[in-house]
Structure 1
Amino acid sequence: MSDNWSAVAMAFVALFLVGGIISFIKQGLRRGAVLLGVLAVLATTAAVLWW
């Protein structure tokens, strides 16, 4: 598990971005939510590939 700290960090970044998506949707900022969605997918992909 100690070798996977980068993957764990990227997973937390992805979760943080999902929280941002929810916040942006509540504020009505659809374009920002889409951008954060793309970034969350990239962070999730990075976490999976790093694992």
Structure 2
Amino acid sequence: MTGNWTAVAMAFVALFMVGGIVSFLKQGLKKGALLLGALAALATTAAVLWW
């Protein structure tokens, strides 16, 4: 049961980072958006593997 909550938390973190990507792109910070994209992909992968 705990594993499911951890996966949900990781998915929430990934979605939060996607919002950051949009914000960074609007500000013209492409390197920051790229970094957040990589971190969001890692968080999504962690959520899927943890499930």
TM-score (norm 1): 0.95
Name the Cα RMSD after superposition.
Answer: 0.7
- Runs of 4+ aligned structure 1 residues displaced above 3 Å come to none
- Report matched runs for 1:39-50 at 5 Å: 39-50=39-50
The count of residues paired between Structure 1 and Structure 2 equals 50
Give the aligned partner of residue 15 of structure 1. Answer: 15
Report percent identity of matched pairs.
78
TM-score (norm 2): 0.95
The whole-number CA distance in structure 1 between the counterparts of 2:26 and 2:35 is 15
